[in-house]
Amino acid sequence: METKIIDGRVLSDQLRKSIKQKVCELRQNNIMPGLTVILVGDDPASQIYVRNKKRACEQVGINSNVIRLDNNITEYELLGKIHDLNEDPSVHGILVQLPLPSHISSERIINTIDPSKDVDGFHPVNAGKLLAGQPYLAPCTPRGIIKLIESTGEDISGKHAVVIGRSNIVGKPVSIMLLQKNATVTICHSKTIELDKIARQGDILVVAMGRPQSITDKYIKTGAIVIDVGTSRVNGKLLGDVVFQAAKGKAGWITPVPGGVGPMTITMLLENTILAAQSSSVL
């Protein structure tokens, strides 16, 4: 069968036009949406991610500021920076680029960010609202995944969705979002017995394992929508968790790596920043 490609770059560009219009409307009301990113250390991958986020903000008119800090900054000092940003009315979104140095608790840092400015959607308050069906600032990658699935034109309601991966960043929240769209959801992980058999039941298959090229066509139901969240650099090449060539011809729809989930994650970050700015205007 013919496998259709779900192009995250094209969908992202479409959504960013709408976001740019929302930014213009906010600016007309004297609200200048602002995102501040904190980057600790000089990890090359983190620097690329931050640069891409800053560029995306500039494209849609969001004020973007990057605070670069030495790798040896203390946790206390970093917490102080976050407290200052929490109190700054010109900052609507705060993002701390992960991973952090080993001497700093990521959990403590995330929990210190004002939930109303937590554009990553990682704070326990926002996680709780998502679970309760009252999403405010939801995690960006899961939000992007839902948009990608919906872009196929297929109705999520009634479908069996299999999610491989149970992280707090992707697996758990996307499972909740799929449930809220009336899918029947099965969550799998590294300890799942007969993973391939369960995966083949999925009308929708979301793969977020972080294990490059681990999912072949034997895991895929004919005609399924396959969302590959994995991004691993192997011998200088960016690879997904799904063996793309093997999946083509078996899946009905599939996201490429790169060019699938990645662009949508950044676009959802922009949407969250706009939502935070809009909410600040009614507080």
CA–CA distance, 128 with 132 (Å, rounded to integer): 6
Tokens of 81: 């920076």
State which H helix or E strand residue 206 sits in.
Answer: strand 204-207
Which of the residues 53, 147, 172, 250 is marked catalytic? 53
Tokens of 29: 């009301």
Other C-beta atoms closer than 10 Å to the C-beta of 140 total: 26
Which of the residues 117, 118, 120, 181 is marked catalytic? 120
Active site residue 248: no
Residue 241 to residues 189, 190, 230, 248, 271: CA-CA distances in angstroms? 13, 13, 5, 14, 27
Do residues 152 and 260 touch, judged by C-beta distance below 8 A?
Answer: no
CA–CA distance, 15 with 22 (Å, rounded to integer): 11
Which of the residues 97, 172, 181, 250 is marked catalytic? 97
Beta-sheet strand order (sheet of 34-40): 63-69, 34-40, 93-96
| HSE-CB for 267 with a 13 A CA cutoff | 26
- Please, what is the Cα angle at 177 between 121 and 12, to 5 degrees? 70
CA–CA distance, 121 with 111 (Å, rounded to integer): 11
CA–CA distance, 174 with 168 (Å, rounded to integer): 9
Active site residue 97: yes
Active site residue 120: yes
Q: What residues are annotated to the active site?
A: 53, 97, 120
